[in-house]
Amino acid sequence: MSSQPPRSVLNVLLAAVRATAQPMALAIALGFGATAANAQTYGIATMQQATLNHTTGSAIAKVLKEKGGLNFLVQPTAGETTLIPMVGRNEAELGIANIAEVVNVTRGTGAGQQPDLRLVGTIHALRVAFFVRKDSDLKTIADLKGKRVTAGYSAMRTIDTIVHAMLATAGLTIGEVKPVPVPNVLRGADDFLGGSADTFMFAFGAAKVREVDASVGGVRALEIPEAGMAASRKIFQYGYLSEVSPGPVFVGVPAKMKVYSYDNMLFTNAKVSDDLVYKIIETMENSKAELVAVQPALREFSAAALYKQYDIPYHPGALKYFKDKGLQPKALE
């Protein structure tokens, strides 16, 4: 006699197993899906370590992860000409670059254009200077005539525009100085350290400026003549002067002075979800103290300050946030 149960009994047992297994399988699948969603990693493309933008990106990534539950990782690159296309191809969800670079790739046509780039907004002013040794005889931009000035910036092409605009404040052209070709601002600082240049251009607040300052016994920022800004804006329309005072961020500033400034932008890709962009702004707005603890330059950050009248498309998620909070675009400087 067979010890197996009748076939009818087996069928009942199999049906029961299937009925139980399907919800279990669904629950397991949903569990894996939730885990995968929670573990999703996002990228924020920045310049190299020791630059102002890398520190800014690190501050934003830290806050988004710790306060927003968004696993953002900083992706340092050689410069804006590398990082902007990464965001344009949606290989990184966020990027940080100056307005000169962003304008350059969102207008016109050609291989270098990034039609899917969308603004989140202005995160803080980018204040820059030509730095010289503290004991140098060079005092103003006009004193750079005939001197060795870092230029070229093959990995940061629009920085040359800024250099030309800053020289123009003193009525100088690039032909009246001795250009020292460099790929990026870090190399420019290194060439200055090595004695190959009489000055270097860099952003205030960057770790590299503090490094150079400590290495050469002090640096000093050259003064910008306000009367020269009209000529400067013929080269770069978005530049303006802002006042700074001596302090830890403003290395090389011996007394209250005005320095060349333009906006630093946070941007994303059109394919990034509206909800994600909305949450990014909301988290940053609610965590300003934590942002400033890592990057003092973000003292200027606010959701209201993000929204300026740039004729570059904003991401719909950002526009929804601005509308929900009743924010209007601010006029440019």
**Strands 257-269 and 94-98, bridge-based pairing:** antiparallel
pLDDT along the chain (333 residues), means of 10: 42 42 43 51 94 94 97 93 93 95 77 88 95 96 97 85 96 97 94 97 93 97 94 95 92 95 97 98 98 94 96 96 97 85
Determine the pLDDT at residue 220.
98
Q: What is the DSSP string of 249-267?
A: SSTT--SSEEEEEEEEEEE
Q: What token pair was written down for 120?
A: 């989140």
Q: Which domains does the chain have, with CATH numbers?
A: 41-124+263-324 (3.40.190.10), 126-262 (3.40.190.10)
Q: How far apart are CA 165 and CA 159, in angstroms?
A: 10
Determine the pLDDT at residue 6.
43
Contact 143, 231 (CB under 8 A): no
Q: Classify residue 15 by burial, with Cβ atoms within 10 Å: 0-12, 13-18, 19+.
A: exposed
Q: Classify residue 268 by burial, with Cβ atoms within 10 Å: 0-12, 13-18, 19+.
A: buried
Determine the pLDDT at residue 1.
42
Q: How many CA atoms lie within 13 A of 251 on its CB side?
A: 21
Determine the pLDDT at residue 26.
41
Strand partners, 268: 94, 118
Look up residue 150 and give its DSSP letter.
E
Determine the pLDDT at residue 108.
59
Determine the pLDDT at residue 113.
86
> Collapsing DSSP states into helix, strand and coil, what is residue 234?
coil
